[in-house]
Structure 1
């Protein structure tokens, strides 16, 4: 075989006959991509793995239950030869050559007329990596390159700008609890593609330093409010930049719809006719306790957990929380934005029947390098916050799970 590099090409197999010989593990790995390509797949094999058999049962492939016979590749556009019979593979490969059918051989790549690249996908892009020639082929190396490229596209570290016209709009992106590694893959990719980022102070700040120089970063806390309320001014800024034809990311801490006013922003965008994408984020109500070694549920201890906002005190007429009902629950209570109100929250829970010795943990700056955990009880938590100088942002966990957890902090990013 000549030492020339393989010529890469994308096969459009929709409705075209593809023959697969052998129903083992190789076929099991390759068939899903062929099915996704819309190929008319004919499997020839006396037996198959349960997964391949399920594909046949579902009508995704046509299965002829016998060994390979000469003539099976007639009228095929593409063939995958993967039987355990080397002579049958050689004969089928020869038939493919006669009929000018491109074929892949699992047992002898050098004897095949085509190679299967290591492939991966990211938002409408297929990445395919091929070794340049037969000599020294290393499938693990090509797979590693594939993985690196796909991961870079997904997390935004490998930026490939769009040069065709993009539809302007806004993405409400949940940035997670603080550790930049805990943002979703889609959120990170949208950040990398943004023209404008309007960020909350509780969003993962480290990610902003990675943005390309042309990206305009706006601190939501510093938007001039003038005659507008803060949220209304943020809504107007989102609309204004989107109407300029820009791709805008609203980067929020945690999840946009967990005490993040994400729906208010989505509604304002909808009224303005602006396209809006919502990217969920990891909520601090679960992730921060977990990072501190506290499970919000645990078998035999807590079969429920409730997340409430503590930004207004229980006796405030604006409060929508049924604190007496919460005091009667046996599960875990997670309080967000409640550091400065925790004294009155604890008093209210105790007054309505919650034991004063109920364990409490406060996790400050959860999942970041500054994370710390302070333990108390409902009776002592107010004083503990003062003496330990606990500052927002902190997640407060109330319940017996506090004593179940691992008291040395876990590293949630590893």
Structure 2
């Protein structure tokens, strides 16, 4: 008996396919957004990566560790000396033995010797060797400050390039509008052709400039990747284009500011201290050191056993032996004086540079403020007026083109001025050692 069955319709494969494609598209969009978010970097993240990953930092860390490990052996004594052998022994072995009442001749000797170092010399050497790493630690900070300056310069230059590229994108739309509108008007006999070709040439120049700016962006990215020690030097990511101009009004520019903040000046100070410690070490070389020697001799052929116990002293104060130490002490004194003069020279130059940079920054801020509040808004309104007149057939294309060209060049000039301001800020940050 046949039983009727309800046959369920088979879904069309196309429905499944479209659903799968839709889901995959959504996932790709979401994952792309996540990747893009991960690839956005700001200046703080870049500086952190440089501090933790740049090879020069690892080099300094290894040097500091090496010096600290070496300093652990600063108070070591010289190794004891042992000796053994025949002492005043005849070449004829027959004489070694006892003959009647006559004892044999010769002895076999075992000797030990130890020099006892002067405690003040050990203390001076320990202080000197432990202080060596402090100089390298400050040099590390100075090198890191220079790396920060390189990174910030590249970062801000990249940021300005991105802003210029954004202006080029806007200008390309404007020029395409001019060209398309002029072609239509020329066909209808309402437009002269000369300004049209100027707009076409400007569009080509714009595209050429875009290629140049994009190449510059790649160069800055490679430089930052190199500073961060990225495995892929061409690693692609975007940067945060927001920025702030630092306010230096709270900084009092004087010598104490540089002494307290600049690692290179601190390195010179540590070098001066190290020189005095080395000088003190040379002084301790002029102090006597003592030693002890014990020797035991086994007599041959019934001869008595003998021993020798002797004290030793090293006398470096003799004129012929102390001459080099005294010369080193005098030389180190003048080396410390030279380093002190170098420190004052760096402070003097840095103070002058900081005051000069502050003056330039204040002037540049005022110039940029004029661009932002007066010049660019006025030129933008002029262009908008010309564009409205051109659309209403009361202005010519060449007038609109001139208004656009003036606005475009001024906007690019403004960005150049902004880049100069940020470069001044980077240099002043480097001078004051501000991260």
TM-score in same-fold range (> 0.5) = no
Q: Which protein is bigger by CA-based radius of gyration?
A: 2
TM-score computed with the length of structure 2 as normaliser: 0.16
By percentage of residues, which structure has more strand?
1
Q: Compute the TM-score of the two structures, normalised by the length of structure 1.
A: 0.17
Judging by fraction of residues, say which structure has more helix: 2
RCO comparison, higher one (Cα < 8 Å, 6+) = 2
